[in-house]
């Protein structure tokens, strides 16, 4: 295969169809990073189902992944640690509302003005990382589409 053949084989550049201003990309690496787990038969019939813990930077689409068995606090912390070792501490993480990352306030907590934190949330708070919960599954899907991520694989 010649170098000119490789040019033909490169995937086409992908351009978003026009995201809303609220969904527009952040400016620099680490300003906003999506963290999500994706359960799939990654090894097809050659092994058990697993959970790919994936982080994707909003501005650069830089990714970092770790394959495990579940989407737990410790699996999320492990992939976050790898991200930090490679790229530094992100300013914010965009996650779903899975109880690993973020939980809704109880009425009593709301009255007291408290924001409940999960164990992972406490770890992030100590590092100065803000966790942003997706407002809906559709919002998370729009973000996935804009960054080229899908739930069936990256």
pLDDT digits (tens, 9 = 90+) for 8-67: 333 334 444 434 334 445 588 999 999 999 888 888 888 888 899 999 999 999 999 999
Mean pLDDT, the chain, rounded, equals 77
Select the more confidently predicted residue: 27 or 138. Answer: 27
Examine the pLDDT at 133 and tell me if it is beyond 50: yes
- Answer whether 69's CB lies under 8 Å from 99's CB: no
Looking at residue 128, its pLDDT comes to 96
Spatial distance between the Cα atoms of 42 and 62, rounded to a whole number of angstroms? 21
CATH code for the structural domain at 27-147: 3.30.420.10
Q: What is the pTM of this model?
A: 0.69
Output the pLDDT for position 122: 93
Q: Give the CA distances from residue 57 to residues 9, 27, 118, 129, 151, in Å, rounded to whole numbers and listed in that order.
A: 25, 10, 23, 14, 16
Domain extents in the chain: 27-147
Of 101 and 149, the structure prediction assigns the larger pLDDT to: 101
Could you tell me which of 68, 89, 67 has the C-alpha nearest to residue 80? Answer: 89
pLDDT in tens, 78-122: 999 999 999 999 999 999 877 888 888 889 988 998 888 899 999
Q: Strand locations in the chain, DSSP E? A: 33-40, 50-57, 63-68, 92-95, 130-133
Please give the pLDDT value at position 39: 87
């Amino acid at each position: 295969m010649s170098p000119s053949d490789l040019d033909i084989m490169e995937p086409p550049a992908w351009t978003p169809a026009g995201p809303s201003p609220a969904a527009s990309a952040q400016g620099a690496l680490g300003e906003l990073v999506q963290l999500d787990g994706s359960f799939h038969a990654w090894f097809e019939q050659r092994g058990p189902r697993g959970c790919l813990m994936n982080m994707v930077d909003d501005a650069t689409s830089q990714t970092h992944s770790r394959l495990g068995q579940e989407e737990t606090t410790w699996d999320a912390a492990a992939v976050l640690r790898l991200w930090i070792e490679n790229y530094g501490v992100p300013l914010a993480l965009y996650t779903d509302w899975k109880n690993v990352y973020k939980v809704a306030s109880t009425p009593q907590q709301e009255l007291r003005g408290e924001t409940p934190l999960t164990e992972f949330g406490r770890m992030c708070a100590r590092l100065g990382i803000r966790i942003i919960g997706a407002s809906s599954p559709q919002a998370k899907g729009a973000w996935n589409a804009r960054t080229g991520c899908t739930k069936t694989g990256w």
